[in-house]
C-alpha cells in the first residue's frame, strides 16, 4: 500500500482539544475541498508519524487490554482518525478544533461527517475514560 499525504497539521506547542488548529491541504488537492465549508464537522485521517509499535497489549489504569480496544497511537498500522469541528475554510487551509494530532502530522484524507458516522449513546467501558 502506498499513501500520498494530501497535506499536514499545523499547530502550536499546545495540545488542547479546544485549540484552533490549521490543516494545510496541498495546493494540488485544493479543488477537492469545494463545498466542504457546508459541513460543521469533518473526519480527518492521518499518519501517526511519531508512533512506535510496542505490542498488542496495553495497560489502561491497571487493566490489560488489546491495542484495538485503545486509542493508543502505537499500533501495527499507525493511522489516526479524528472527528473535528470545522471553524473556517480559507482556500487550501482548514481551521478546525478537536484534532488529536501533532504539528506536521501528515494528513491522508478528509471526509465530511454526516448521519452515517453518528452513533447515539455508544457503549463505552468505564476504564476507557478513566484519567
- The string of pLDDT tens digits covering residues 81-102 is 999 999 999 999 999 999 999 9
89 - beta bridge partners?
94
C-alpha count within 13 angstroms, C-beta hemisphere, residue 107: 25
Question: What's the pLDDT at 44?
Answer: 98
The CATH T-level fold of domain 7-113 is Elongation Factor Tu (Ef-tu); domain 3 (2.40.30)
Percent of the residues in the chain that have a pLDDT greater than 90, as a whole number: 78
Q: Residues of 49-69 as b/e, b for ≥16 C-beta within 10 angstroms?
A: eeeeeeeeebeeeeeebebee
Contact in structure between 61 and 130 (CB atoms under 8 Å): yes
Q: From CA 69, how far away is CA 65, in angstroms rounded? A: 6
Domain positions in the chain: 7-113
Q: What is the percentage of the chain residues whose pLDDT exceeds 70?
A: 98
For the record, the C-alpha cell of 30 comes out as: 485544493
Cα–Cα distance for residue pair 4/91, rounded to 1 Å = 20
The whole-number pLDDT of residue 70 equals 92
For residues 94 and 25, the answer to whether their CB atoms sit within 8 Å is yes
Q: What is the pTM of this model?
A: 0.91
Amino acid at each position: 500500500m502506498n499513501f500520498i499525504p494530501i497535506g499536514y497539521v499545523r499547530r502550536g506547542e499546545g495540545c488542547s482539544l479546544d485549540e484552533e488548529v490549521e490543516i494545510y491541504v496541498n495546493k494540488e488537492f485544493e479543488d477537492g475541498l469545494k463545498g466542504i465549508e457546508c459541513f460543521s464537522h469533518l473526519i480527518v485521517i492521518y499518519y501517526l508519524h511519531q508512533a512506535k509499535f510496542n505490542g498488542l497489549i496495553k495497560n489502561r489504569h491497571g487493566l490489560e487490554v488489546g491495542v484495538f480496544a485503545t486509542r493508543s497511537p502505537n499500533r501495527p498500522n499507525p493511522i489516526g482518525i479524528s472527528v473535528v469541528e470545522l471553524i473556517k475554510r480559507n482556500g487550501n487551509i482548514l481551521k478546525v478544533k478537536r484534532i488529536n494530532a501533532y504539528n506536521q502530522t501528515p494528513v491522508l484524507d478528509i471526509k465530511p461527517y454526516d448521519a452515517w458516522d453518528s452513533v447515539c449513546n455508544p457503549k463505552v467501558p468505564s476504564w476507557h475514560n478513566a484519567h
